[in-house]
Amino acid sequence: MVVRPAFALLMLVAVAGCASERHPQARPTRSLVIPTPSPSPTGRPRLARPGTECGQVTTVTGGRATVQVVRGRTSCVEAMSVFEKYNDPDTPAEGTAGLVVIGHWTCGTRGTITTCTSKIATIRTHR
């Protein structure tokens, strides 16, 4: 059998490459771990009493207004959420009073005061 030198060299390189190649170790499979949300340190939001000022929101006109619980009890988290939604430019309001229903709250504006009422509480913003 006649073997050409170039072919023989190519075969030696191929065999040498295979001999030096390590077999890949089996990689451990990664499993997707979804963390469990930690419970809130305070549990349920605390209810605010009448007269409690919960914070400030930016009004539709760009001003700042203070959110306050007027009657009944609700959480400041809910009060702030209602007024943030009310002042969102994408929330459609009806009439000159800007009437909007947000969840179980009915909101409207008279002058510079916006008031939202539910069966159990009243909240408002004032400047």
DSSP string, 10-51: HHHHHHHHHHHPPPPPPPPPPPP-PPPPPPPTT-SPPEEPTT
Q: Is residue 115 part of a domain?
A: yes
Q: Is residue 68 part of a domain?
A: yes
Q: Is residue 21 part of a domain?
A: no
**Residue 6, Ramachandran bin (φ over 0: left; ψ between -120 and 50: alpha; else beta):** alpha
pLDDT band with cut points at 50, 70 and 90 for residue 52: very high
Q: Is residue 38 part of a domain?
A: no
pLDDT tens digits, residue range 22-42? 545 555 555 555 555 555 555
Q: Is residue 52 part of a domain?
A: yes
116, 104 Cβ separation under 8 angstroms: no
pLDDT band with cut points at 50, 70 and 90 for residue 79: very high
Percent of the chain whose pLDDT exceeds 70: 66
Q: Tell me how crowded residue 97 is: count the other CB atoms within 10 A of its CB.
A: 13
Rounded (5°) CA angle 107-108-110: 150
Helix (H) or strand (E) holding 120: none
Q: Is residue 119 part of a domain?
A: yes
Residue 106 belongs to domain spanning:
47-126
Q: Is residue 8 part of a domain?
A: no
* pLDDT at site 9: 59
Lowest mean pLDDT among 2-6, 90-94, 95-99, 117-121: 2-6
49, 69 Cβ separation under 8 angstroms: yes
Please give the tally of structural domains in the chain. 1
Q: Is residue 15 part of a domain?
A: no
pLDDT tens digits, residue range 80-91? 999 999 999 999
**Residue 74 carries which side chain, given as an amino acid letter?**
T
